[in-house]
Each structure stands twice: as structure tokens, then as C-alpha cells.
Chain A
Amino acid sequence: MIELKNIYKAYKKVPVLKGVSLKMEKGGVYAVLGPNGSGKTTLMKCILGMVLPDRGEVFVGGESVIKKHSYRENIGYLPQIARFPDNLKVEELFKMISDLRGQKGNSEDLIQRFGLEKYLSYKLSSLSGGTRQKVNLVICFMFDAQYILLDEPTSGLDPVAMIALRKLIEEKKQEGKIIILTTHIMDVVEKMADEIIFLMEGKIYFQGDQEKLDELTGSEGVEASIAQLLLKEEKGKNDSSQKNGFRFKLNKVAL
């Protein structure tokens, strides 16, 4: 179980998360959606402990985890941008991560799935963006972690790797693991997500399954529903600013 309680976070006084509370109890795929800068990555990094919230609590497996480290044994993380120490070879990197975690990971099956066999003796600096992402995916999945956090897992992947990734996520879901992912590709969300969490301006606007989302917005499909939500918010903003303007005028008249 992963639980966030009333998380607040600001970077240099710019608020990013404004009171986010969230509970993920059952195994399954949780898709965190939202426009750019809505706080998706910050939310993930709060669970990981890479970002320390200003207020609020994070629980992983029922245990409060802020400023702790050993709980990350149960977490696999895929960062948005995959970069590694340049001097290392791919196989050295896998070995090193296993050594540092003190866990014996199973990378062979994953290397095969993503077709990385021929790159094992390559230096990481010589790999293309997509291949680096595959290396990153291997690291994320090789320890069979209970919680898997994927930040934009589809970026830079070719269709073959995409299919392999979907299959992998599906398998992990069947095993009862909690998978949290952010993506801009709605097709992935529609096919895989059990629950959708829609973040906007640092707050959760919606949490529930696709049917509930369709019901709420009166549209069909995630893409259309999300667009509806965004438009509604935009409209709401305009209305309130118009109202404020009106009030301001009234005040002026009264003066």
C-alpha cells in the first residue's frame, strides 16, 4: 500500500503540490495524469524520498518513510530522463546496481525481452536515447520490487519495446504489484490503467476508474475526458476572473 497524506511542496516559494492526499491499496496500474508542470514527477519523487515534502506524510507498506531509506528495497523506479555514468559498460552497470542494493537481481530475462544482448559490452555513453531507456527499464524491473514507479516510460521507445513493456506491466499487475505511471500517451492509459489520478496545479482533481471519469465528464475515452476536464477548469478560471472584474467595477462605482 502507498499512501500520501496532505502533501505540500514548493520549490523556491513556487507551490507545486498543494495538499495532495492519495491512497493506493490494491495491486494494479495507477496512471497519474496532468498537464506539464502539474506536479506528477514531484509526486513520484516524494514517494521515493528524492524530494522532501514541506508538509504531510508518506506511507509505503504502512510505514512512514520520510527521511528513511531501506523501504526503497521494495521500489523500482524509472526516471524521466535516463542518464548514467559514462565510463561504465551496460553489464557493469547492472552488476553495480545489484551490488549497491545488496539484492541479487534477475536481469537476464529482461535483457532478452528488450533485445539488449548485443549492447552489454557497450559503454553507456555510446548508447542512443531509446537504448538507454531500455537499460533503465531493466534496472527498474530487475529486482522484482513490489512498488514500481514509471515516469514517462514510453518516451523514446520503439514499437517492439513498447509491446514488450506493456506485456511486462501486465504481468506485474497480475502478480499483484502496485504500478504507478505517468504518461502523455492516452492510449497506454486506456488500455492499462485500473485507476486514473488527474493532477492539476498541484491538486488532485479526479481519482477513480475510467467509467467514473467518463460519467463525470459526459465524454467517452480518456483523451476526450481529460480534455473536458481541462476545458472546464479553463472556463471556471475565466468566469471567476470575469466575476472579480465585475466586482471590482461595482466597488469603483460605490466609491
Chain B
Amino acid sequence: MKRILKYSFFDMIRSRWSIFYFLFFLITASSLLYMSNDSSRALASLMNIVIILCPLIGTLFGVMYYYNSRDFIELLLAQPIKRRDIFLGEYFGLAFSIVISFIAGITIPFIFYGFGGADTLVNFLTIVVAGSILTMAFLAISFLVAMKNSNKIKGFGLAIIIWLFMAIIYDGLFLMSLFIFEDYPLETFSLAMTVINPIDLCRTLVMLQLDISALLGYTGAVFNKFFGTSQGIIISLFFALLWVAGPVWTISWQCKAKDF
């Protein structure tokens, strides 16, 4: 797996996509920092961008990369290499290069500007962790979607719909169901609803850490009440990581039964 990871990583890091992604975060983070002139306010704005954009870019890159490297995968399948190693090598090569672009893009401006205290540094690290987890989770989900659909348009469509659902539609449905069932006790329900959406989960994770109670919302408040801040962070982090492990495991399992 290591060899394939190495090749796909260097193939990706040399490509325009990673550079574009790196530049995007570099420009966004620097402009937020220098315009607001306050690192904690810049972090709050950055959080909103990371929570929506990391999953979207992860989704797009995952599908595009899989379809682009389909021929390469077929070439590899004819070599004496385990299928699982081929697919996991490709996935991790892609994931590491994208995550490195993201981390480098947002870290460099903060290093130049200065973090302005230990609190901000921890908050910054939380955003980095949340963004990396979201990127890896959505890369894995879209990789899987592309693997299952040989038709590119269908694959792209489905992957975008999954992102749209998780990032936007889900919240609407969630709020609507809270409104409709307001007469009932909803704590357990809303906890479950948060756990099954990686974007909500990461949003809660960051908000708990940033301690922005005004932005916590219903779920965040329930999380806070239920677990307290530190336990809430650990639990949301655990479930967010499950969102990476689950799809990655499915990739390694699904690739064994696929025909090429």
C-alpha cells in the first residue's frame, strides 16, 4: 500500500488541484485575519467557511480523482498487488495531499499574524482537526460513490446530492422536526440527529471549543448540557472520526467484489 500511496500522493501534490486548494485557503485566511485584525473573530468566520467548503471540495475531488485514475487503477489491478492496497493507497494518497494543502493554506497566515494566545491556538487547532476530518470523510464517501457508479454524471450527481443533503437540507429537516414535535422531549432525538451528520458533528465540535454560546443552537446546547464541554468534545470527535473510518472500511471491503 505504501508504494501506491507514495505515487498517488506525489501525483496529486504536483497537480493544479492541490495548489488551487492551498492558495484558496491561504488567501481566505490572510484576508480574514488582516481585515478583521482580530484572530478570534477571524477564526469564527473561518469556521463557517471550513464547515461548508471542506466537505464540498472533498466531495468534488474524491469523485474527480477516482474517475481520472480509473485507467491507472486498471493497470494496477493487472499487477501482483492486493486490491485493498490499491484502493486504500489511492485514497490515502489523495486524502493526505488535500489535507496537507488545507493545513498549509490556513496555518501560514496565522504564523505570520501570530495566534495571540494559547486559547486561540487551541481553537485554531480544533478548526484544523475539524476541517481535516470533514475533508477525509467526504473524500471517502465520494470515492465510494464513484466506485459504485461507473457512469460519471450519475456519480457526480449523487455525490453532490449527498453533500447538499448533509450541509443544507439536513438542517432544514432537523429544525422542522424539532418544530413539529416541540411538545415531546427531544434531547435524545436531537443528539442522534447530530451524530449521524458529520457536518453537524464537526460544527458542534468547533462551537463547543470556541465557546460561542450564541451560535451553539439547540443541538450544541443539548450536547453541552448532556456531556459538559470537554466530554462533548471527546464524544463529537469520536463520532466524527467514525465518519472517516466507516467509509474507508467500506471502500476496502467493496473493492474486493468489484469487476473491472
The answer to whether A52 and B69 touch (CB under 8 A), given A69-B81, A101-B80, is no
Chain A residues with CB below 8 A from B79, complex form:
72, 97, 100-101
Scoring B4, B69, B78, B259 by chain A CB atoms within 10 A of each residue's CB, the highest score goes to B78
Does any Cβ of B come within 8 Å of A75's Cβ? yes
Which residues of chain A are within 8 angstroms of B76 by Cβ–Cβ distance? Answer: 100
Residue interface bits A129-144, CB-to-B below 8 A is 1, else 0: 0000000000100000
Are the C-beta atoms of A45 and B260 separated by less than 8 Å? yes
- For the residues of B in contact with A, the DSSP-based class is helix
> Which residue on A lies nearest to B74, using beta carbons?
A79
> Of A80-88, A170-178, A221-229, which binds chain B?
A80-88
- Does residue B153 face the partner (Cβ distance < 8 Å to A)? no
Q: Tell me the total A-B contact number using a CB cutoff of 8 A.
A: 60
Among the listed stretches B7-15, B107-115, B211-219, which one makes contact with chain A, having 4 or more residues with CB under 8 Å of it? B7-15
Q: Let me know if A51 and B260 touch, CB within 8 A.
A: yes
Closest to A86 in B: B68
The interface centre, meaning the residue of B3, B15, B75, B259 with most chain A CB atoms within 10 A of its CB, is B75
Contact between chains at A70 and B78 (CB < 8 Å): no
Which chain B residues border A72 with CB–CB below 8 Å?
78-81
A97 to B75, CA, bound (A): 9
Contact with B along A101-117 (1 / 0, CB 8 A): 11000000000000000
Segment 62-106 of B: residues with Cβ below 8 Å from A: 69, 71-72, 74-83
Whether B154 is near chain A, meaning CB under 8 Å from some CB there, is: no
CB neighbours (8 Å) of A102 from chain B are 80
Q: B78 near A99 (CB under 8 angstroms)?
A: no
> In the complex, what distance in Å separates the CA atom of A22 from the CA atom of B82?
26
Minimum CB–CB distance for A17 against chain B, Å: 12
Taken together as a complex, chains A and B put the C-alpha atoms of A85 and B11 apart, in Å, by 9
**Given A85-B72, A96-B7, does the pair A52, B259 have CB atoms closer than 8 Å?**
yes
The answer to whether B180 has its CB under 8 Å from any CB of chain A is: no
Cross-chain contact A69 with B3 (CB below 8 angstroms): no
Report B's interface with A, CB cutoff 8 A: 3-4, 7, 11, 14-15, 69, 71-72, 74-83, 256-257, 259-260
Cβ contacts A to B, 30 pairs, < 8 Å:
A50-B77, A50-B78, A51-B259, A51-B260, A52-B257, A67-B256, A69-B80, A69-B82, A69-B83, A71-B80, A72-B80, A75-B78, A77-B78, A79-B75, A83-B71, A83-B74, A84-B75, A85-B11, A85-B71, A85-B72, A87-B11, A96-B7, A97-B75, A100-B3, A100-B4, A100-B7, A100-B76, A100-B81, A101-B79, A102-B80
Q: 9 tightest A-B contacts by CB?
A: A83-B71, A72-B80, A77-B78, A73-B80, A50-B260, A51-B259, A85-B72, A69-B82, A50-B77
